[in-house]
Amino acid sequence: MTRFFWLKFFTVALLILVLIPPLILLLLMLLEGMSPGAALAAVTEQYAGRRQNPLANTVLGAVAVVPLALIVLIYRLRKGAAGSTALAFGGGVGIVLTQLWANLEFWPNFLPGREYPGFPHGLEIVIGSLFFAPVAMLVGVVIAALWLRGAVQS
């Protein structure tokens, strides 16, 4: 269960964060009535753009993964491997939910054919990733820790 824990942890965390922006963008384009082929082409074209690059959203989203890894590492060093997966999952859910919200707020403003709204639009990604995601991660970790405490006592 704990074999290759860190490899699995970072692989899953970064894979989810890499997939959120393009999947949200693709979903919004399909809901706008674009054909699947045109939507896929527009998503790949977005990666070549200087502004609103989905990869930048991934990098910002990964910022909250580092404190989560430190929390899980400290827990594993103090209490052992049992329960660290629950902490990682609880914190990860908070990060993913925050990234979903931020991307759902961000991408509708930048769909193809829409005029660039200019500054300050786009701050949802920065604020969500740097301020809300760490808080949501901590809430998820605390909920998982309380759940573990209740599971251990019963």
Whether residue 95 contacts residue 136, with contact meaning beta carbons closer than 8 Å, is answered with: yes
pLDDT of residue 2: 61
Share of the chain above pLDDT 90, in %: 20
Q: How confident is the model at residue 18 (pLDDT cuts 50, 70, 90)?
A: confident
Q: What average pLDDT does this structure show over 71-78?
A: 87
Domain hosting residue 75, numbered range: 5-153
Tell me the C-alpha to C-alpha distance, in Å, between residue 36 and each of 39, 46, 100: 5, 15, 21
Number of structural domains the chain divides into: 1
Cα(76)–Cα(81) distance, integer angstroms: 5
- pTM listed for this prediction: 0.84
Instruction: Return the higher-pLDDT residue of 58 and 133.
Output: 133
